[in-house]
Amino acid sequence: MKVEDLRVRIAGKSIVDGVDLLARQGEVLALVGPNGAGKSTLLAAVAGDLPYRGSVLIDGREPSSYPAVELARLRSVLPQHTTLSFPFRVREIVEMGRAPWAGTAEEKHDEDVIRDSMERAGVVEFADRRFPSLSGGERARVSLARVLAQRTPLLLLDEPTAALDLKHQELVLAVARRRAAEGCAVVVVLHDLGLAAAHADQAVVLREGRVAASGRPVEVFTPELLSEVYEHPVDVIPHPETGVPLVVPARAV
Ligand code: ADP
Ligand code: MG
């Protein structure tokens, strides 16, 4: 997926202002930045869910040029906030991810893909539970399982780890890595910069709708840049064994 000079205005205000982005197959791209930087807006525009100016190419074409069902076979979206008004069972929600493939040759894999997606997201044990009865973190993983079941070559995940404990944060990033290894392009919005540094191939730092920096996390996540962008002093410490940057807010002793 290739994004050039993307601009989104909402209610007369510029929210995304000239963003370039390249999400390559086989890679995880972490989109980070302060609250209100425009990450969710950017993702929604890229997904084809919001009007924009500039260029977004998914498989060489603008999202709006695809019939809805075709677009749904190309890109899946895990929104930051999901609202579900009907108390579906977990399994039914994951099954919804297969809807774009109904009537195609892929349909015969539905059962396998649904089971595999629930296993990857760690939700098999909730399969028969109703969604509203789940905890926030469990719901987040069910939504991820639905996205995985869609089996698209582009995944757009907006803060998939926000409600998750440490183990499940790692699980979700491992799932993202695995999809990338299987040939997908994965864009994931993260707040935990350490998590991004450990798992992402590329990082894009967004600030006030613009790209403040982009590149490999180890290059991008400098104390200078992060302190400036987050308007708070930040320490970046290489992990003693792996060298992966550990990012922590500087604190008074
Ligand atoms: P992020 O995901 O980086 O936290 P968002 O993309 O959700 O940021 O929002 C970026 C900015 O755009 C925020 O200031 C937000 O208040 C504003 N914004 C987003 N959607 C709307 C909307 N529908 N109407 C007005 N302002 C909006
Ligand atoms: Mg957001």
- Note the pLDDT tens digit of each residue in 187-197: 999 999 999 99
Give the residue among 139, 132, 140 at the shortest CA–CA distance from 157. 140
- Residue 146 and residue 90 share a domain: yes
Cβ burial 136-154 (10 Å sphere, 16+ → b, else e): eebbbbbbbbbbbbbbbbb
pLDDT of residue 178: 98
- Residue 100 and residue 61 share a domain: no
For residue 126, being part of any structural domain is answered with yes
- Residue 194 and residue 97 share a domain: no
Parent domain of 3: 1-74+152-218
- Residue 140 and residue 197 share a domain: no
For residue 66, being part of any structural domain is answered with yes
- Residue 146 and residue 171 share a domain: no
Question: Quick one: residue 5, left, alpha or beta (phi over 0 = left, psi -120 to 50 = alpha)?
Answer: left
pLDDT of residue 216: 97
For residue 235, being part of any structural domain is answered with no
Mutate which of 13, 15, 21, 39 for ligand 1 pocket (most atoms within 8 A of beta carbon):
15
CATH number (domain holding residue 173): 3.40.50.300
For residue 192, being part of any structural domain is answered with yes
- Residue 100 and residue 47 share a domain: no
- Residue 134 and residue 112 share a domain: yes
40 lines ligand 1 (CB under 6 A): yes
pLDDT tens string 144-178: 999 999 999 999 999 999 989 999 999 999 999 99
Q: Which of 151, 168, 200 is the last residue of a domain?
A: 151
- Residue 111 and residue 87 share a domain: yes
- The band of 74, judged by pLDDT with boundaries at 50, 70 and 90, is very high
- Residue 91 and residue 38 share a domain: no
For residue 116, being part of any structural domain is answered with yes
- Tell whether pTM > 0.95: yes
- Residue 52 and residue 160 share a domain: yes
- Residue 170 and residue 51 share a domain: yes
For residue 105, being part of any structural domain is answered with yes
Give the ligand whose atoms come closest to the C-alpha of residue 38.
1
- Residue 95 and residue 127 share a domain: yes
Nearest-atom number in ligand 1 for the CA of 39 is: 3
Nearest C-alpha to atom 14 of ligand 1 is from which residue?
36
| Cβ(31)–Cβ(190) below 8 Å | yes
The mean pLDDT value for 227-243 works out to 96
Q: How many domains does the chain have?
A: 2
55 CA from centroid of ligand 1 (Å): 20
169 lines ligand 1 (CB under 6 A): no
Nearest C-alpha to atom 5 of ligand 1 is from which residue?
38
For the cut 80, the answer to whether the pLDDT of residue 82 exceeds it is no
| Cβ(21)–Cβ(6) below 8 Å | yes
41 CA from centroid of ligand 1 (Å): 6
Q: Is the dihedral of CA 57, 71, 90, 179 positive or negative?
A: negative
Give the ligand whose atoms come closest to the C-alpha of residue 46.
1
Q: Is the dihedral of CA 62, 63, 69, 73 positive or negative?
A: positive
Q: Which of 123, 151, 179 is the last residue of a domain?
A: 151
Q: Which two tokens stand for residue 177?
A: 């890595």
